[in-house]
């Protein structure tokens, strides 16, 4: 079986983290231009996409109403110049998020697939989840997160989304709150299953079996250890605002692990409820 680098012709499988190559940026922009700058008739103003105007204005890019092909081309060139010449590596990802925030859901779904394929082929350490660009290592991790942010249980889903927001802030990632919301999502799901919203995670874990959710001893031990990690003296759940030692690795581990545990518990529970 070929490796990723062999399949795509790369000499190294090291992901691009805190960087974005010119090739990656050009491919993202090319896909955007194909979708948006050719998707409406410049002479039919009723089909004009106001979302693009809003996005470019938010970014501070010169923009003119595209009443003819020349102006449409000028707008495209202004956007490309802004992104390609930016000093900050993360401007291309800010662009993607702004684009999605100003687009219809059908467009977001389509372009998320296109952009994620480009990110994968360019060996980027980032993927798009929902409407956010997040640092990620494997497709398995991305799948666990995507599943968790779409669960039908509001309290747990809200915590997962907040954890993703904190972790994916490229300018000022908040690893402490990533960990807090990750474990809170896991705790919320346990409370939902045991029908005790006031229970602590430790209490809820002990009552899962009474609701038909039987866990292998090894998994139960892993979940209990996760609870202990956040509950020991000086830990997240003891009011330590500055969780000393919280790193990107800690935050990512908690986010992925808690998302996977939440998905696992739901799957087990829905078979017996």
Q: Are 72 and 37 in contact (CB under 8 A)?
A: yes
Gap between the Cα atoms of 29 and 271, Å rounded = 45
* Percent of the chain's residues with pLDDT above 70: 81
Who has greater pLDDT, 95 or 18?
95
Give the helix/strand (H/E) hosting 133: strand 132-135
Arithmetic mean of pLDDT, 78-95? 93
Model-level pTM? 0.65
d(CA 71, CA 65): 7
Phi, psi at residue 3, to the nearest 5°?
Answer: -85, 170
The larger pLDDT score, comparing residue 95 to residue 171, is at 95
Q: C-alpha 229: how far from its chain's center?
A: 24
What are φ and ψ of residue 149, in 5° steps? -80, 0
Half-sphere exposure of 243 (CA within 13 A, CB side): 21
pLDDT of residue 240: 43
pLDDT the model gives residue 251: 86
Instruction: Tell me the average pLDDT of the chain.
Output: 81
Q: 74 versus 273: which is more confidently predicted? A: 74
Strands (E), the chain: 126-129, 132-135
Q: Specify the length of the chain in residues.
A: 273
93-143 pLDDT, tens digit each: 999 999 999 898 999 999 999 999 999 888 788 999 989 998 876 767 878
């Amino acid at each position: 079986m070929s490796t990723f680098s062999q399949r795509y012709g790369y000499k190294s499988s090291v992901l691009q983290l805190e960087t974005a190559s010119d090739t990656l940026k050009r491919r993202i922009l090319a896909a955007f231009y194909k979708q948006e700058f050719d998707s409406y008739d410049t002479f039919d103003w009723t089909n004009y996409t106001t979302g693009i105007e809003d996005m470019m204005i938010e970014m501070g890019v010169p923009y003119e109403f595209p009443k003819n092909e020349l102006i449409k081309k000028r707008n495209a060139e202004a956007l490309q110049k802004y992104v390609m010449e930016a000093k900050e590596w993360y401007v291309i990802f800010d662009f993607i998020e702004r684009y999605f925030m100003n687009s219809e859901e059908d467009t977001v779904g389509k372009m998320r697939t296109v952009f994620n394929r480009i990110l994968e082929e360019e060996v980027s350490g980032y993927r798009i989840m929902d409407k956010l660009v997040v640092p990620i290592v494997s497709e398995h991790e991305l799948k666990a997160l995507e599943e968790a942010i779409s669960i039908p249980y509001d309290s747990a889903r809200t915590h997962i989304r907040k954890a993703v927001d904190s972790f994916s802030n490229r300018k000022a990632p908040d690893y402490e709150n990533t960990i807090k919301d990750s474990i809170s999502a896991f705790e919320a799901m346990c409370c939902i299953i045991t029908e005790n919203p006031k229970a602590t995670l430790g209490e809820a874990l002990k009552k899962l079996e009474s609701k038909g959710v039987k866990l292998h001893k090894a998994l139960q031990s892993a979940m209990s250890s996760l609870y202990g990690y956040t509950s020991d003296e000086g830990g997240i759940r003891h009011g330590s605002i500055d969780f000393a030692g919280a790193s990107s690795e800690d935050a990512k581990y908690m986010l992925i692990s808690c998302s996977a545990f939440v998905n696992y518990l739901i799957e087990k529970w829905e078979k017996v409820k």
